[in-house]
Structure 1
Amino acid sequence: MIRFAKVLVVAFMVVCLSVPAFAGNVVLKLGHIAEPVHPYGQGAEKFAEIVAQKSGGEMEVRVFPSSQLGGQKDLIEGLIYGTVDLALVGTAVLGQFQPQISLFDLPFLFKDRKHAYKSLDSVGMELGVPLESKGIKLLGYMENGIRHITNNVRPVKTPADMEGLKIRVMTNKIYIEMMKALGASPTPMAFGELYSAMQQGTVDGQENPSAHIWTKRFFEVQKYASLTAHAYAPEPLVMSMASWSRLTPKQQKIIQDSAKEAIAWQRDLSTKKDQEYWDKIKATGKIEVIEVDRDAFMEATKPVYKIFAPIVGQDNIDKVEALKE
């Protein structure tokens, strides 16, 4: 792993030193795995729109949704090597390159969205700085949403109901340990394989925000949705340092200002869409939406903090806790 990291750093330095500055009009590729109608898919388009507007059409961001440029790990590696300019990726995957940023994957970390935004815009930006030496610049955090559990076996109201369920999770140690703490059997799997895996019974269920449950039509192949709200999922907007270094200071300011504006717009959209998606999901009549004993879920997942505090930093956990109002 250390050797791989060194190779990435060397590759990043070679790209930065060998690639000349952009000449004339700038065209940047932005990739993500969501459907275009997903709130952060729309956020990507808004960002592109703002960049074009602020640059007077001299800068263009071309958005490639639905994993057209690869999965999230592919996108991150593309940023490092300079083959992808911009991406929206989850902290769960980004944490493989900067472990402390996995802080935001901890269960029940935030009191509410306001607390999340405050934490991400301060502690979150600090934790993004070490990524720059690895070839990635953090521009800010859009929102994937608040995660909930769905399954095909039984209604889940308490952690006891999770016993033995095969739940698809991202390839992320925190999510794996979270599901183990709840008594489930975590099954890491690529997002693109999930619909068919649930359809075929390879896994019993999954956990995602309402936006994915609706736009990826997971409600078609699941019987029960439990409103666990077990984690808040930010979606960092990141840029290749190789691409960033080729921009003029004026162009860099356009990118950073556009990111800030688009993130505020996208967060507002995501909040509004969340209830709308749940209303649509319920209206299909294909999946039962269930209220849960959330305190019991919070209690059951406390051991996860003991495991990962040394990795994400107890001081960072304390900083986030101090921002609660």
Structure 2
Amino acid sequence: MKKKLMSVTIIVVMVMSLLIGCNGNKDKDASGGGGGKDAKADAGRSAVWKVSAMGSETNPTTQGWYIFEKEIEKRLDNVDVQVFINGQLGTSADQCIGGMQNGIIQFSDISVGNVAEYTSAFLPLDAPFLFEDRDTALSTVDGEAGKAMAEQYLKDTDIKLLGYWDYGFRNVTNSKKPIKGAADFSGLKIRTLNNNVYLDMLTCLGANPSTMAYAEVFTGLQQGTIDGQENPNSTIVDAKFYEVQKYLTLTEHVYGFLGLHMGNSFYEGLNEEEKKAVEESAQIAIEQQREICNKANEDALATIKDAGVEVTELSADQKAEMRKETSSVWDTIADKCGKDLFKKVVKAAGQEY
């Protein structure tokens, strides 16, 4: 798959955003950049590394970036890592991948489910009902299967994946009815990622999928333009979707991962000390972020229940029924990413294909 570079127009827009962001980033506490660190500590630092973070300051992945920032600056006296939250430096895969390819930004945390336009490398992770539990999902991406996907991604995009941020199982909310089986999806208009695998999965279950922009989802749910959406519990609470939804079903249909992405050209331009600092800091940040994320999802479920949302937990048989209904999606994924890669990931997940 060819690398897809951003248009000149988008690059200009991002450059302007960076200039504005840099002015605003003088006050680190106000912008969220730096996690509230003292700006005086950066006075003697000559290199600026920019991180495009999608989430808010309290988002588990943003918290991971702040840990990464701290670890990098502890190891490299000349580097100032600046974390720009809430998508200030890009709200789409197109902007963030293009920004890293062109050296406008150095790091980003795009969901691996959102880069299907650029590469088929991570499609195996989108196979419906692939993972039975969190531990298996994490061990899969941390092992040889995860490395194989990252290698393919690098070839397709010239973006290096330093590791996988935890996002948690994706679950479905809606305002119409409890979902207790595949038949209950019938007629529901569900917002999902702009990813054909997700669209096919929901279609197979009988829903009407929508790819509404994330920023418009709350209003869409509130006004009834869409009936529901699917996301991890922490996102459902962070975005306040639960305030305008009546039902949550713990479908756990896909385990979500964000990537710790880094421009490969930038990486290759670093010296050995800097490369070592990046890799060590990434692993420490990922380990701690995963614990933060797991707790956030557990706390979010409690918040959703306390708000009066009806929560349905599916049995193994109910999930097996849904997996059967979406079996054709597994075939589609295998065809797109290659059967060898797909089988490697499926095997690591303890499944058969």
Given the two structures, how large is their TM-score scaled by the length of structure 2? 0.82
In the TM superposition, 1:187-206 aligns within 5 A as 187-206=210-229
Q: Which residue of 1 aligns with 2:126?
A: 105
> Contact (CA 8 Å) 2:170, 2:256: kept in 1 or not?
yes
Q: CA deviation at 1:131?
A: 3.3
Is 1:170–1:188's contact at 8 Å kept on the other side of the alignment?
Answer: yes
Give a deviation string over 1:188-231, Cα, whole Å, max 9, x none. 12211211111121111100001100111111111111110101
Q: Normalization by structure 1: what TM-score?
A: 0.89
Q: Work out the CA distance in 1 between the residues paired with 2:7 and 2:83.
A: 28
| 1:147 counterpart SS class | strand
The reply on whether 1:129 has 2:151 as its aligned counterpart is yes
Q: Determine if contact 1:27/1:59 at 8 Å carries over to the other structure.
A: yes
Q: Which runs of 5+ in 2 are unaligned?
A: 12-43
Contact 1:143 1:266 in 2 (8 A): yes
* Shift, 1:173, TM fit: 0.6
Deviation for aligned residue 1:5: 6.2
1:60 — aligned with what? Answer: 80
1:289 to 311, 318, 326: 311
Cα deviation for residue 59 of structure 1 reads 1.9
Higher relative contact order (CA 8 A, sep 6+): 1
- For 1:66-105, what aligned pairs fall within 5 Å after superposition? 66-73=86-93, 74-105=95-126
User: Which amino acid counterpart does residue 281 of structure 2 have in structure 1?
Assistant: S
Query: Is the partner of 1:100 in helix, strand or coil?
Result: coil
Structure 1: gaps (5+ residues): 12-22
User: Which residue of structure 2 lines up, in the alignment, with residue 219 of structure 1?
Assistant: 242
2:194 corresponds in structure 1 to 171
State the Cα distance separating 1:244 from its structure 2 match: 1.7
* 1:46 alignment partner in structure 2: 67
CA change 1:315–1:237 in 2 (3 A) is: same
- Aligned residues: CA RMSD: 2.3
The residue type paired with residue 121 of structure 2 is: Q
Q: For residue 149 of structure 1, what is the amino acid of its counterpart?
A: V
Note if contact 2:121-2:152 (Cα within 8 Å) is conserved in structure 1. no
Contact 1:100/1:313 (<8 A) preserved: no
Amino acid in the other structure paired with 1:43: G
Q: Which moved more, 1:159-168 or 1:312-321?
A: 312-321
Q: Identity over aligned residues, as a percent?
A: 32
Tell me, in whole angstroms, the C-alpha distance in 2 between the residues paired with 1:231 and 1:289: 18
Q: Is the 8 A contact 1:72 1:90 kept in 2?
A: no
Q: Which moved more, 1:77-86 or 1:202-211?
A: 77-86
Rate the CA distance shift 1:58–1:183 in 2: closer, same or farther, 3 A.
same
Does residue 201 of structure 2 align to residue 181 of structure 1? no
